[in-house]
Amino acid sequence: MIGARHVQRDSAEPSERRLLNIVEEMALASGIAVPLAFVMDDQRTINAFAAGYSPHQAAVIVTRGALENLNRDELQGVVAHEFSHILNGDMRLNVTLIGVIAGIVLFGSIGAFLMGGGRSEGGENARARFDFRLFLL
Report pLDDT digits (tens) over 59-116: 999 999 999 999 999 999 999 999 998 888 767 676 777 788 888 888 888 877 777 7
Domain containing 131 equals 93-136
Catalytic choice (16, 24, 82, 121): 82
pTM for the model stands at 0.68
Active site residue 13: no
DSSP assignments along 7-33, one per residue: PPTT---HHHHHHHHHHHHHHHHHTSP
Residues 63 and 117 in one domain: no
Query: Where is the domain boundary, 88, 104, 120?
Result: 88
| DSSP 8-state class, residue 130 | H
The domain total for the chain is 2
Q: Would you place residue 14 in the very low, low, confident or very high pLDDT band (cuts 50, 70, 90)? A: very high
